[in-house]
Amino acid sequence: MDSVEKGAATSVSNPRGRPSRGRPPKLQRNSRGGQGRSVEKPPHLAALNSGPGAAARAFPLKNKHLGGGSRSLAGSLRAALDSGVFQSVWVSTDHDEIENVAKQFGAQVHRRSSEVSKDSSTSLDAIVEFLSYHNEVDIVGNIQATSPCLHPTDLQKVAEMIREEGYDSVFSVVRRHQFRWSEIQKGVREVTEPLNLNPAKRPRRQDWDGELYENGSFYFAKRHLIEMGYLQGGKMAYYEMRAEHSVDIDVDIDWPIAEQRVLRYGYFGKEKFKEIKLLVCSIDGCLTNGHIYVSGDQKEIISYDVKDAIGISLLKKSGIEVRLISERACSKQTLSSLKLDCKMEVNVPDKLAVVDEWRKEMGLCWKEVAYLGNEVSDEECLKKVGLSAVPADACSTAQKAVGYICKCNGGRGALREFAEHIFLLMEKVVNSCQK
């Protein structure tokens, strides 16, 4: 259900009791250098992602946490940038790492002050401060980074409601079919009572429209409302999002669930995924945990996880070639004893050149190649391929170069996890081709 649902329009008065009005048309210089009232420019609609900062101590940097392999912050930025309805896209943060992620995806950064970066600060505080520095902005679309399943089409429809249909504020909701009961409080209320149903006539789900709840994905509001202290007011409407797109990463326990939802329903950019045909895996720190044991007779001993061997087998059964690579002159005899039946290259000074050679040999484009790496030497490959990942214990340079960070460490199931990730994305490719 992609249709836009609108709530009843209502008005909010300002604190002085006068109806809220937008600002008068701006005066612009004409071609002769004089001033006069010219045709109004379209109102400046800015997307503002209130990213987390150093004060987010309950779940540190939670908005940068991976949701289905893509940073939830990056996912919401992609949707805003690809929607094409914003004159500017911003991230408000006081944290250097969040700033780097924002710039990497093409967003501008507003470095918010310590006054609006406290644990007690609200999104509205940050928005008001942002507007005080940007007089050009007429409308703010406050997009929550904790909603990684937002799609550009949602934002396009809301922008139309604001610009074409004259709404002062629009916010996102989701429809839920949940029966609510009053809370029991000792000494106040000893029994519970139904709040939205008659227990004697309980409706079936299909016979009940349910109720609308804010899902926190976004809040659009015109400048004059925000300056009065409102994110919702004036002529209001809601925008109903699809239930499967209403993912809100508010607590740690939600992340594993959200990751799976994002893989199935998330937005990954304008460019369509291509089916993966080749997976290249770095041996040390990915296939293995990076530990090397040396026997008394100077033979090298390594260990690997059976789950990863099963992952390789499943990939090959799905028609995906798996090849191994290492910059170290590790023993091919030792690797062969693992009986993984994979082509491998060791003592490789330039991994990108070897992967490029393999790609050309198989007649593939880079989008059809996946890469699992964990070191600085893997960085260029991770950036070049269509799908990249690192184990949870990969170095920071490698982590910053990828779209998916595994929950498992190298040599402890990361390869199997990446294989499952690939299968889910390939399912998405197949489904999109069938539509």
The helix (H) or strand (E) run that includes residue 351 is helix 351-362
Distance CA 308, CA 314 (A): 10
List the catalytic residue out of 202, 204, 242, 323: 202
Show the CA angle centred on residue 245, arms to residues 368 and 170, nearest 5°: 130
- With b for 16 or more beta-carbon neighbours within 10 A and e for fewer, the 320-334 pattern comes to bbbbbbbbeebeeee
Both structure tokens of 156:
């396009």
Under 8 Å CB-to-CB from 4, ≥6 apart: which residues?
157, 158, 161, 239, 240
> Which amino acid is residue 306, in one-letter code?
V
CA 119 vs. chain centroid, Å, equals 23
Distance CA 378, CA 358 (A): 16
Tell me if residue 202 is catalytic: yes
> What contacts 24+ positions apart, CB below 8 Å, involve 107-114?
107/49, 107/77, 107/80, 107/81, 110/48, 110/134, 112/53
Residue 242, CA atoms < 13 Å, CB-side half-sphere: 13
Of 327, 320, 414, residue with least CA distance to 369: 320
Under 8 Å CB-to-CB from 283, ≥6 apart: which residues?
324, 325, 326, 328, 330, 335, 344, 346
Active-site residues, by number, are: 202
